[in-house]
Amino acid sequence: MRCRSIIQLVVCGLLLLPPSGCQKNEPIRLGFLGGLSGRVADLGVAGRNGVQLAVEQCNAAGGIAGRQVALAVRDDEQNPETAKRVAGELIGQRIELIVGPMTSSMAMAVMPQINASQTILLSPTVTTVELNGQDDNFLRVISDTSNYASKSARYLYQKLGSRSVAAIFDNSNRSYSEGWLNDFRSAFEAQGGKIVLTKTFQSGRDTVFQPVARELLASQADTVLIISGAVDSALICQQIRKLSPRMRIGMSEWASTERFIELAGTAAEGVVVAQFMDRNDTSPRYRNFLTAYRARFSQDPGFAGMAGYDAALVALEAFAIRKEGEKLKQAILGKGSFQGVQQTLVFDTSGDADRNTFMAVILNGQYVTVN
């Protein structure tokens, strides 16, 4: 009888306790890390919007096994110290997978703490070769810089007749930009071309480009190569066009956002860039994505928006297919290939993906795929 009374007391106490969350109904937490403010914000904002769209569509469709997906967004401000701090915040929340960062230097800054944790970093746009072929917690849905740089080099040399290049790159994202330039140099020089001048700059509000544009043009190179974000690339283009309106300009895919065309104005005309996004794609999958993105954000996604969306699709599918006790990385690499908006993304054993790339030229304010 005494035992029964104690049971009754315990049951009464439990009934009076506030209901605690059942893990089955707790949301799946997904992180996003990217530069959302400052000069590279267009890349980060588009990436975040792509991830946000995928998450919202997933939740609208009922979530993953009945669980909603909650997105925790952090701005790395394109600053390594900030990136480390906010990545630490996301890791501290026991988030299993972070989509991001959007730039290579931020990836290099946070990788030590990512590898020391259980969290997976799945980047939409980081292309540095420094993270190639490593068995770590870094995965990406994009090819490394060698793919874009070598394609650009070959196109400039073979199709446009470039023989000498004066290059300028952003030192604040050195992991990416220097690697990109090196890959370009290898491919371009292998063709018979030459890099006649290399200049660097530190992206910032007070950076001025007119003097360096003069130096680039003074090198007598037939092509100027710009490896930087959209705002800086637009300003450099404008300065170069002011001084030499017909100068051939190539740039890295980092700058090839929709904002670049608006910021560079007519100076963007004729600029060539290697991209993995085919804006002339007429497939229903791409058109549906484009329509949904425009309806949600009142702007075009650009490559960063699509890459963010693709990365989020991979992440969400990995959450859905993984078996009990299986890690997300195992689930992603185990499946190997995922359907993206425009391409099937195939991961190798170290978590690097391969994408087809296209050469595009800006004509009449549009990216036009030419090769």
Partner 1 sequence: MATFPLRRILTLQPIVALLLPFGVAALIGYFWIAPQIRKDAESRQLQIARAVASQVESYLDTSMAIVGAAAAIHHDLGMTGHNRQHLLDGLVSSSRSLGSLYAVNPDGRISSIALAREAPKQNQELEGLDLSRNALFRTVAQSGKPGWSEAFLSVINGGLSAAYAVPGDGVIVVGEVDLGSLSRFLKQVSGGNDLLIMIVDDKGQVIADHDGRRTAQQLNIGNISLVRRGLDSDLPTTGRFDLSGARMTGSMIQIPAVDWHVLVAQKDGALYRTVLNIAWIVLACILTALLCAVAASIYLARKLAARFDALALHARTIARGDRSGAWPLSSIDEFNQLSGSLKTMADTLYRQELDLRESENRTASLYNISQYPFSDEAGFLDHALNEVVRLTASAIGYIYFYNEHTRQFILHSWSNGIVRSRSRKRSTTWTAPGSGAKWFVSASRSC
**Binding site residues, partner 1, CB under 8 A:** 1, 4-5, 8-9, 12-13, 16, 27, 36-39, 41-42, 45, 48-49, 56, 70, 72-73, 75, 205-206, 208-210, 230-231, 234-235, 238-239, 241-242, 259, 261-268, 296-298, 365
Residues paired with 168 in a beta bridge: 199, 226
Closest by CA to 258, choosing from 290, 287, 301, 227, is 301
Report in angstroms how near the CB of residue 37 gets to partner 1 at its nearest: 4
How crowded is the C-beta side of 76, counted as CA atoms within 13 Å?
33
Residue (232 or 352) nearer to partner 1, CB: 232
Which residue, 106 or 332, has its beta carbon nearer to partner 1? 106
Smallest gap, in angstroms, from Cβ of residue 128 to partner 1?
24
Output the smallest distance, CB 266 to partner 1, in A.
5
Residue 12 or 61 having the CB closest to partner 1: 12
Q: What distances in angstroms separate CA 213 from CA 125, 176, 268, 309, one per listed residue?
A: 28, 22, 15, 36
Smallest distance from partner 1 to CB 144, Å: 27
Name the residue nearer to partner 1 (CB basis): 39 or 322. 39
Between 67 and 335, CB nearer to partner 1: 67
Q: Report, in Å, the least distance between residue 222 CB and partner 1.
A: 23
Token look-up 């931020």 returns 106
Name the residue nearer to partner 1 (CB basis): 82 or 186.
82
How far does Cα 168 stand from its chain's mean position?
Answer: 21
- Kindly report whether the peptide bond that precedes residue 112 is cis, defined as omega within 30 degrees of 0: no
Contact (CB, 8 A) for 27 and 70: yes
**Nearest-approach distance from CB 52 to partner 1, in angstroms:** 8
Question: What is residue 267's DSSP assignment?
Answer: G
Q: Could you tell me which of 168, 369, 212 has the C-alpha nearest to residue 278?
A: 369
DSSP conformation letters of 226-252: EES-HHHHHHHHHHHHHH-TT-EEEE-
